[in-house]
Amino acid sequence: MNPETILDIVLSSLLGTMQLSVYATCVIWRARKYRKGLHHTAKGLIALFISMLFGIFLPIGGFTFLDGGSSGTRSLIIGLVICPIALVFALNGICFCIFLNGHEVVKRTLFSETKVDLRDPETFIDDPVPRRKYVLTSIVSAKSQIVIQFESLGTEGDLTSFLEDCKKELNH
């Protein structure tokens, strides 16, 4: 085996392991931690698609179609540069949800969970502030100094209904 073949095996193994570990993390997180509410699933799926283009299809094309396989190593290197960036955005989008759990608003991400108690008298919902094409909303607990902030631009789910439910819980 020549050194380029060994490098190709190592780089493709690294790229494949990276892809599979992120896919497994997303599936496991969605199965265990996800709750229906507000989420960023579409943004995460778009990022996963981009990571597949640069991490799977580009190297396959480099080894099979371009220059009879001599550009495969270059394709792997390009995939290793672009793919991790897309995978970070995919994890950020897929492993994210905000939901109402009784009288608490819960924001879950991959590594954290933030809760704001709506029955606390020092909790308030910052009125949505229009900023160009999106609306920025904050749920603030002054007592515990916790802020859950999200924008409407990439958020999926019924934002209006969610805020109305939060305001109902806040008034009880």
Per-residue pLDDT tens for 48-81? 999 999 988 888 888 887 666 678 888 888 899 9
pLDDT at 34: 86
pLDDT at 126: 75
pLDDT at 129: 60
Cα distance between residue 98 and residue 40, in whole Å: 10
- Average confidence (pLDDT) per 10 residues, the chain, 172 residues: 83 91 94 88 92 88 73 86 93 90 87 84 71 67 73 76 79 68
Length of the chain: 172
pLDDT at 94: 92
Query: 7 and 88 in one domain?
Result: yes
Tell which of 59, 94, 129 closes a domain. Answer: 94
Query: 114 and 80 in one domain?
Result: no
Query: 90 and 7 in one domain?
Result: yes
* Structural domain count, the chain: 2
Domain that holds residue 108: 97-171
**Element containing residue 90 per DSSP (H, E):** helix 72-94
Query: 101 and 90 in one domain?
Result: no
Query: 123 and 88 in one domain?
Result: no
- Closest CA relative to residue 107, chosen from 77, 150, 144, 137: 150
Query: 61 and 40 in one domain?
Result: yes
Query: 102 and 87 in one domain?
Result: no
Cα distance between residue 98 and residue 157, in whole Å: 10
Cα distance between residue 144 and residue 14, in whole Å: 43
Cα distance between residue 92 and residue 84, in whole Å: 12
pLDDT at 130: 60
* DSSP character at residue 67: G
- Closest CA relative to residue 148, chosen from 156, 138, 157: 138
Cα distance between residue 32 and residue 87, in whole Å: 20
Furthest C-alpha separation in the chain:
72
pTM value is: 0.81
